[in-house]
Structure 1
Amino acid sequence: MIQLFVNRERELDFLNRKYSENSSQMIVLYGKRRIGKTELIKKFIEDKDGAYILCTNDSTEENIKEMKDKFAALTEKEYFRDIDVSSFYSLYKYLSVTSQIF
């Protein structure tokens, strides 16, 4: 099946404006199934340093591990794999503080 990317200029513009702001932010993207949320994010990060992470029905620990692995690969800093956190909140808090270092 060929995925078409249409009628998302407004959403891409919003994401690009937020990306260009000089602050840490978290944007939650939600909606009905099969309306193009994943394609929107993939299109948005195509030309940026970023990582696409899809949380799964696996355990919270597995999803956190996946996020730490992606962040380590993105920053080329292996120590991110060893961050000792047990919640998404703790991980986001840690990443928001360390992202100011880069």
Structure 2
Amino acid sequence: MGTRFVDRERELAVLEEVYASGRSELVVVYGRRRLGKTFLIRRFLRGRRGLYLVVNYAERELALRDLSRQLSVATGLEASFQWLRDLLRFAARLLGERPVIVIDGFQRLAGI
């Protein structure tokens, strides 16, 4: 039995509306643990050119090394970045027009 998509239609509609705006936008999805945020975002990403990255470390060097590794695994291309902005620019160029880049755990990057 698969996971059901319950009570997230409004949030999904907001993401669809922001995406349809045609502008580059930052959307913050937050809430308590285990409420379906990741499921919502993965559902939104279906059929889109997107990238889902998870920040596993708060320390800059470790975080960027791990994010670079995740990008390499997702794309099949070797990638290594010392700055978050370079990683994001590379990913956006690679994904092409209207990319969606998700950074789960973005708050851990506050010091980077």
TM-score interval w.r.t. the shorter chain? 0.5 to 0.7
| Structure 1: gaps (5+ residues) | none
Equivalent in the alignment of 1:39: 39
Higher share of residues assigned strand: 2
Residues 54 and 61 of structure 1, relative CA distance in 2, 3 Å threshold:
same
After TM superposition, give the deviation of residue 65 of structure 1 in Å: 3.3
Residue 89 (structure 2) pairs with residue 95 (structure 1): yes
Aligned CA distance change for structure 1 residues 72 and 56 (closer, same or farther; 3 Å): closer
- Taking only aligned residues, the RMSD between alpha carbons, in angstroms, comes to 3.1
User: Aligned pair in 2 of structure 1 residues 45, 12: CA closer, same or farther (>3 Å)?
Assistant: same
Give the fraction of aligned pairs with identical amino acids, expressed as a percent.
Answer: 27
2:82 corresponds in structure 1 to: 84
Residues 45-64 of structure 1 deviation map (CA, whole Å, 9 limit, x = unaligned): 01111011122246333332
TM-score, normalization: structure 1? 0.64
Distance 1:60 1:39 in 2: 27
Determine which structure has the larger helix proportion and give its number: 1
Distance in 2 (CA, whole Å) between partners of 1:56 and 1:82 is 16
Q: Which has the higher contact order (CA 8 A, sep 6+)?
A: 2
Q: How does 1:42-61 map to 2 (within 5 A)?
A: 42-57=42-57, 59-61=59-61
Map of 2:104 onto structure 1? none
The number of aligned residues is 93
Contact 2:54–2:67 (Cα < 8 Å) also in 1: no
What is the DSSP-based 3-state SS (H/G/I as helix, E as strand, rest coil) of the residue aligned with 2:51? coil
Separation (CA, whole Å) in 1 of partners of 2:22 and 2:73:
23
